[in-house]
Structures are given as structure tokens and as C-alpha cells.
């Protein structure tokens, strides 16, 4: 979470260098006008939605980084004789049988803990790829306009025209050994268009701003104008869309698993577990509820975060 | 208006060619186009070579694409892995999926816009918060989980609906599958309408309408809603294509033999002709829907005129 806030904030002094009339120049004064992000941060800290989702995301990140801290059970080993579809013991906090056992006698709690990593990595990986690539395409199209805009926008339209899930399925079907990287690549391959469109729109509104003109007049190079002036001021809507999209990529991964085109069956992932549980949902709903619940809570946290940031950044909604 | 439409149609040509070429390349380069023709086993090299020659797959890709598109424009979409004509599959699959998509769109418009207006006018009140939380939950639970749970409870446990849809796929059988298909978009439509209404309710034209003594109902439906619908219509328009392509999950859960079912089979069996053919039609639908949306702008907002 703090990372999200840090990057644009870190650029503030840089922005302040060139445009003397820019809002960032005043940000340095103690008690004076605040920057857009500083203002948003003050506003966000007081929002319960933001605090809850931020804490949830921190927890999920912690679980995916160090699953061993939360359980000592092995998510891959099952005891069929004793644990076959054992029901959850909700009082046994953090024990192996807390969430019950699946049809191979494996601890669902351990699988939920260890499965976090794959889902989170797909979500973060796809978001990172599409933000960098889509952001670049959108920025170039929006800033240069004319021929480049037409070309890049048509290419974006081409990728946008192919249904997202379908395209990912076609790509994934070519791989028998599907790991995090393959799934991330397949989702990013068709997913970047949304960010590109948002970024293009944001850059078009930013590029005529006074401080961009001022930087141009002072003789700043195109690269400097793009990355020091246009980007920091156009990045807000992109961050909002990317945060919300992160959740939907996690959902997409689980959907692909349900369709048999996600992680290989031996991988520990929420998507694969939910998909396995669908055969037991009538008599043993606990096999579905816990992985699906964890996935939904994670996705919910990212969407709420994006929402909270959007509301904080949009003065029209204050 | 006429000139605008013609210009837009001309602009669609490169996008159409690009999208069909892209999916053609994806299926051909990523997969082995003859792999699906020998059942679950691998084709032996001699047979594979003969099949490739027979289908012209030994020629360069651009030539294959040109031949394929030439055939498509004469109405020949090729044959699927089981020897059926792809056009035959389309003629049975598309009516089913179009019905399913229409049901979904009706849900989006009826429920989504109503809830959006309701919450947008009562921002911050309990109704607003409740609906907002509900939309978040709907978005974050994967569609296949929602679908399976609805099928389990409504279909199996309580017997309200038939758990699986018959091959006729009549509209009343498609109500629950349509709701499942619409669910995520429904949530987005609600949120979009809500934001748009909340933004516009303080607009000058709304104040004018209130000031000249129009009834509240007329202010909301004629002035506020009509102007707030532009982003919503944009979303629903682009969603038509996504719904038809995204019906894979819903059609699999409820055993509906529509476009999603055929595409799923086509992708798993690497039937190039089926996948490329269906996606070509979906791309066309998507492009036409976008054009219609742009034309609707002028209807919704009188300030927008197309010369």
C-alpha cells in the first residue's frame, strides 16, 4: 500500500523543478496548498474502507510471501484413511483441520494458505505487465497524436476486439506445462488494452496543461516532458483502473482453472482448488467455500482499494 | 449521419482484418492445426504431412489467411473437427447464444440502471451502501462459483428451475443462466449509473428543470437519466461482444449448446476452423455494437451531432 502512494510522491520535487506555476511548487510550503496525492492520502487515511482493504491486502501479501508462518501442514500430502472430506472444525484456529479436508485428505487450510502465492503472483504479474506496456502504448498514442495515435489506437482496437477469456484460452491451450509465467503472459497478452485506453485519455487531457507548455518553452526534451511532467499527472486514473483490474485478473485465473486451462492439476492454487471442489459442492460445500471465500475476499480488497483511491482523487465526488 | 456511418464502416475494415489475422495467427502459430483430426492420439508424421498438404497448411501463413478470408466472404467457414460445416454449427449455436445475451442485457438494463438511479440519488444513505457492497461482492466472486451455487440451490435443492437447459434453450429456461452471465456486468452498470447520476444531479440543466417546476419524476427520467446514460450505453455496447464470448463459463455450467460451447470444444480440440470462424463473427458483432453505441450518443445527448 504505501508503495502505491510513494512513487508519485517521490516525483514531486522533480515536478516542482520546472513549472513555476505548478501546484507541486506550492506543495513544499509547510501548511500551504497540498498536492493531489498528499490531499488524497490525508483523505484516505480516514476512510474505513481504505484501511480495511489495505490491511487485508497486506495480510494476503504476507501469507503469499511466507506461507510457512501460518501453517506447518504440507498442502500436497493427504491422509485418505483418516481425513477423506473431513468437515471443518471452526474452533480449531490455525490447526490443520480448521477448514476441513478435501477429497484427497489434504488440509484445506494449508492449501488455502499455500495457494495464495500463485493467485497473488498472477494478479500482480499481469497488472505489472499491462500497466507498463499498456501505459506506454497509451502514453505515446495520447502524447504524439496524429499518425501514431491512429496506428496505436487501431492496434489497441484489434486486441480489444478479441474476447479476453477466449484469447487467453487459445494461448493457454498451446501449453501443456502451465505455470505462473505462462498464465501471466497469456492474460497480459490481451489484457493491456484497457490500461492503454485509460492512459491515452489521461495523457490527452494532461498534455495541454500550462506546466507542460512551460516545460516545453524552457526547452525540455520529449522524454523529460513525458516522464517528468505528463506521466506523474496522468497516472492517477491508471493506478485506479490497475488496482481494480488486479482483482479481476485473479478471478480470470480461477475461471481458466475451472475451464481446465489454468494451473496444472498438481499446482497449489485457489483456482485449481475451487475447480476441483465443484464436484463435491453438493455434499461437501466446505471444499468450495474456503478457497472461493479467500479468493473473493482478496479480490474484494483490491477492488475496494481502487474504489477508495478513486473517490479520494476525484474532487467532483467530494 | 450517412457519411459518418460510411466513414466508420471504412475505419472498421483494418480493425476487422487485424483482429481476424491475430486470432488466425494465435490458433495457427500457438497450436497444431491438424492435432485435433486424429482423435486424442497424435497424428503420425506421414498422415500429418498429408493432411497439412490437403488443407493447404504447408503454404505460408499469410497465404492461408488470404485463402481463408476469401472463403469466408463467399460464405464458406470450413469444417469442424467432426466433419460438420462450421456454418452449420453457427446456425444452431448463434440463436441460442443471442437469446442468452439478450436475456442478460435485459437484466443489465432493467436491474442495473434502476439500482444505479436509486443509489445515485441517495448517495451515502443505507440503501446506497448496501447496494454498493452487494455489487462489490458480485464482482469479486467468480462467475462460475455464483453459477454453480445458483444451479445447486435453485435447480437441485429447491427445484425452482431445471438445472440443465434443454437443446431448444427457450427464453424461460435461459432466465437464470442469463442472470449469471449478466451478474458481473450488472454490478458494473449499477456502479456506472450511480456515479454518473451522482455527478450530473448537480448540473445546471437539472437545476433549471427543477426551477421551472417540472415534476421530480420527469426531471429524473427525461433530464437527469438521459444525460447520465452515455457512459452506461458505452459499457453495455462493448459488453455485447464480451457477453457472447464470455458465455463459455455460463454455457458450460448450464449445459447450453451455444457459441461458448462450440468455442470451448473448438479450442480444446484445436479445431482452427471453428475457433477462427466463430471469433470472426464475434469480432463483427463487437464492431457493429460499437458503431450503434456511437450513433446512440446523438439520440441521448442532443448536443452531439454527426455530420
pLDDT 10s digits, A247-297: 889 999 999 988 888 887 778 888 888 888 888 777 788 888 888 899 999
| The predicted structure's pLDDT at residue B100 | 92
Element (H, E) at B237: helix B226-253
How much is the pTM?
Answer: 0.83
Tell me: pLDDT of A76 over 50.
Answer: yes
Mean pLDDT calculated for residue range B218-224: 88
Residue among A174, A139, A132, A164 at smallest CA distance from A153: A139
Joined grid coordinates for residue B192: 456506472
Annotate A201-220 with b (16+ C-beta within 10 A) or e (fewer): bbbbebbebebbebbeeeeb
Return all residues near B77 (Cβ < 8 A) that are at least 6 apart.
B71, B85, B86, B87, B90, B273, B277, B280
The three-state (H, E, C) secondary structure of A48-67, written as one string = HHHHHHHHHHHHHHHHHHCH
**B-chain residue closest to A300, CA distance:** B140
Confidence of residue B34 (pLDDT cuts 50, 70, 90): low
Cα within 13 Å of Cα(B26), Cβ side = 23
Mean pLDDT calculated for residue range A75-86: 70
**Helix (H/G/I), strand (E/B), else coil: B85:** strand
A–B interface: beta-carbon pairs under 8 A: 125
Tell me: pLDDT of B151 over 70.
Answer: yes
Mean of pLDDT over chain B: 84
Taking an 8 Å cut-off on Cβ atoms, the answer to whether B143 and A255 are in contact is yes
**B-chain residue closest to A277, CA distance:** B145
| The predicted structure's pLDDT at residue B37 | 65
Integer Cα distance of B223 and B47 in angstroms: 67
Backbone angles phi, psi at A69, to 5 degrees: -70, -25
- Best of A170, A192, A198, A298 to disrupt the B interface (most B CBs within 10 Å) is A170
Which of B152, B195, B267 lies closest to A169 in CB terms? B267
Task: Please list every residue in chain A whose beta carbon sits closer than 8 Å to the beta carbon of residue B143.
Answer: 251, 255
Could you tell me which residue, B27 or A114, shows the higher pLDDT? A114
Q: How many residues does chain A have?
A: 318
CA distances from A232 to A32, A213, A218, A222 (A): 21, 15, 19, 15
The CA distance from A204 to the nearest CA of chain B, in Å, is 19
Longest CA pairwise span in chain B (Å): 83
| The predicted structure's pLDDT at residue A25 | 42
| The predicted structure's pLDDT at residue B41 | 67
Per the CB < 8 A criterion, the answer to whether B291 and B15 are in contact is: no
ipTM: 0.83
Per the CB < 8 A criterion, the answer to whether B288 and B32 are in contact is: no
DSSP 8-state secondary structure symbol assigned to residue B79: B
**Helix (H/G/I), strand (E/B), else coil: B1:** coil
What stretches of B113-170 show up as alpha helix (H) in DSSP? 114-121, 126-140, 143-150
pLDDT tens-digit map of B244-297: 877 888 998 888 888 988 889 888 887 778 888 888 888 888 888 888 888 888
Which domains, ranges and CATH numbers included, belong to chain A?
Answer: 50-64+97-317 (1.10.3720.10)
Confidence of residue A192 (pLDDT cuts 50, 70, 90): very high
Return all residues near B100 (Cβ < 8 A) that are at least 6 apart.
B169, B174, B177, B178, B181, B247, B250, B251, B256, B258
Integer Cα distance of B254 and B252 in angstroms: 6
| The predicted structure's pLDDT at residue A283 | 79
pLDDT tens-digit map of B124-140: 889 888 998 899 889 88
B277-280: list long-range contacts, CB under 8 Å, 24+ apart. B277/B72, B277/B77, B277/B78, B277/B86, B277/B87, B277/B90, B278/B86, B278/B90, B278/B93, B279/A162, B279/A163, B279/A166, B279/B19, B279/B20, B279/B23, B279/B245, B280/B20, B280/B23, B280/B72, B280/B77
Cα within 13 Å of Cα(B229), Cβ side = 24
Mean of pLDDT over chain A: 80
**Helix (H/G/I), strand (E/B), else coil: B43:** coil
Cα within 13 Å of Cα(A63), Cβ side = 24
pLDDT tens-digit map of A200-233: 989 988 888 888 889 889 988 888 888 888 888 8
Tell me: pLDDT of B165 over 90.
Answer: no
Task: Please list every residue in chain A whose beta carbon sits closer than 8 Å to the beta carbon of residue B148.
Answer: 278, 281, 288
Mean pLDDT calculated for residue range B300-306: 74
Joined grid coordinates for residue A301: 480488497
Joined grid coordinates for residue A188: 497480459
Confidence of residue A85 (pLDDT cuts 50, 70, 90): low
Q: Residues of chain A with pLDDT > 90: what percent?
A: 22
Taking an 8 Å cut-off on Cβ atoms, the answer to whether B198 and A317 are in contact is yes
The CA distance from B126 to the nearest CA of chain A, in Å, is 15
| The predicted structure's pLDDT at residue B35 | 65
C-alpha of B279 from chain center: 12
| The predicted structure's pLDDT at residue A23 | 43
Could you tell me which residue, A37 or B247, shows the higher pLDDT? B247
Mean pLDDT calculated for residue range A171-179: 83
| The predicted structure's pLDDT at residue B30 | 66
Confidence of residue A126 (pLDDT cuts 50, 70, 90): very high
Per the CB < 8 A criterion, the answer to whether A259 and A272 are in contact is: no
Amino acid at each position: 500500500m504505501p508503495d502505491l502512494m510513494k512513487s508519485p510522491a517521490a516525483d514531486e520535487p522533480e515536478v516542482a523543478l520546472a513549472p513555476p506555476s505548478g501546484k507541486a511548487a506550492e506543495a513544499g510550503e509547510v501548511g500551504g496548498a497540498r498536492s493531489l496525492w498528499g490531499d488524497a492520502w490525508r483523505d484516505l487515511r480516514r476512510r474505513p474502507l481504505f484501511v480495511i482493504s489495505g490491511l487485508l491486502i497486506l495480510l494476503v501479501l504476507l501469507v503469499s510471501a511466507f506461507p510457512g508462518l501460518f501453517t506447518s501442514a504440507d498442502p500436497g500430502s493427504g491422509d485418505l484413511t483418516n481425513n477423506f472430506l473431513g468437515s471443518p472444525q471452526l474452533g480449531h484456529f490455525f490447526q490443520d483441520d480448521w477448514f476441513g479436508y478435501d477429497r484427497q485428505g489434504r488440509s484445506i487450510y494449508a492449501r488455502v494458505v499455500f495457494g495464495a502465492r500463485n493467485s497473488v503472483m498472477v494478479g500482480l504479474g499481469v497488472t505489472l505487465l499491462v500497466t507498463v506496456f499498456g501505459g506506454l502504448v497509451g502514453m505515446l498514442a495520447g502524447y504524439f497524436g496524429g499518425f501514431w495515435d491512429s496506428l496505436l489506437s487501431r492496434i489497441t482496437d484489434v486486441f480489444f476486439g478479441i474476447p479476453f477469456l477466449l484469447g487467453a484460452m487459445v494461448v493457454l491451450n498451446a501449453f501443456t506445462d502451465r505455470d505462473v509465467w505462462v498464465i501471466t503472459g497469456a492474460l497480459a497478452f490481451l489484457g493491456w488494452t484497457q490500461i492503454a485506453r485509460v492512459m491515452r485519455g489521461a495523457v490527452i487531457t494532461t498534455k495541454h496543461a500550462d506546466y507542460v507548455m512551460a516545460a516545453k518553452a524552457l526547452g525540455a526534451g520529449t522524454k523529460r516532458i513525458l516522464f517528468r511532467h505528463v506521466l506523474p499527472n496522468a497516472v492517477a486514473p491508471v493506478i485506479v483502473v490497475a488496482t481494480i483490474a488486479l482483482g479481476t485478473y485473479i478471478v480470470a485465473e480461477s475461471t481458466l482453472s475451472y475451464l481446465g486451462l489454468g494451473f496444472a492439476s498438481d499446482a497449489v492454487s485457489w483456482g485449481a482448488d475451487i475447480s476441483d471442489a465443484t464436484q463435491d459442492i453438493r455434499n461437501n460445500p466446505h471444499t468450495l467455500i474456503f478457497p472461493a471465500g479467500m479468493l473473493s475476499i482478496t479480490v474484494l480488497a483490491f477492488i475496494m482499494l481502487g474504489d477508495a483511491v478513486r473517490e479520494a482523487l476525484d474532487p467532483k465526488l467530494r | 449521419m450517412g457519411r459518418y456511418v460510411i466513414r466508420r464502416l471504412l475505419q472498421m475494415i483494418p480493425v476487422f482484418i487485424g483482429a481476424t489475422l491475430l486470432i488466425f495467427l494465435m490458433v495457427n502459430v500457438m497450436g497444431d492445426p491438424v492435432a485435433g483430426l486424429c482423435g486424442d492420439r497424435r497424428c503420425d508424421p506421414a498422415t500429418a504431412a498429408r493432411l497439412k498438404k490437403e488443407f493447404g497448411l504447408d503454404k505460408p501463413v499469410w497465404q492461408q489467411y488470404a485463402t481463408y478470408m476469401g472463403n469466408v466472404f463467399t460464405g464458406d467457414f470450413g469444417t469442424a473437427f467432426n466433419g460438420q460445416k462450421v456454418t452449420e454449427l453457427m446456425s444452431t449455436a448463434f440463436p441460442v447464444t443471442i437469446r442468452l445475451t439478450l436475456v442478460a442485457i435485459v437484466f443489465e438494463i432493467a436491474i442495473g440502471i434502476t439500482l444505479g438511479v436509486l443509489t445515485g440519488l441517495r448517495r451515502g444513505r443505507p440503501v446506497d451502501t448496501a447496494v454498493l457492497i452487494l455489487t462489490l461482492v458480485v464482482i469479486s466472486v467468480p462467475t462460475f462459483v455464483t453459477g454453480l451455487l445458483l444451479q445447486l440451490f435453485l435447480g437441485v435443492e429447491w427445484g425452482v428451475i431445471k438445472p440443465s437447459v434443454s437443446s431448444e434453450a427457450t427464453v424461460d429456461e435461459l432466465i437464470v443462466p442469463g442472470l449469471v452471465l449478466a451478474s458481473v456486468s450488472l454490478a458494473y452498470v449499477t456502479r456506472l449509473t450511480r456515479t454518473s447520476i451522482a455527478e450530473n444531479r448537480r448540473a445546471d440543466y437539472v437545476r433549471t428543470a427543477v426551477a421551472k417546476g417540472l415534476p421530480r419524476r420527469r426531471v429524473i427520467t427525461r433530464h437527469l437519466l438521459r444525460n447520465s446514460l452515455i457512459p452506461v450505453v458505452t459499457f453495455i455496447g462493448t459488453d455485447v461482444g464480451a457477453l457472447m464470448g464470455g458465455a463459455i463459463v455460463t454455457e458450460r455450467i448450464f449445459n447450453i449448446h451455444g457459441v461458448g460451447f462450440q468455442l470451448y470444444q473448438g479450442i480444446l480440440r484445436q479445431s482452427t476452423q471453428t475457433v477462427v470462424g466463430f471469433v470472426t463473427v464475434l469480432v463483427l458483432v463487437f464492431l457493429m455494437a460499437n458503431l450503434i453505441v456511437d450513433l446512440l450518443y446523438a439520440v441521448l445527448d442532443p448536443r452531439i451531432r454527426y455530420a
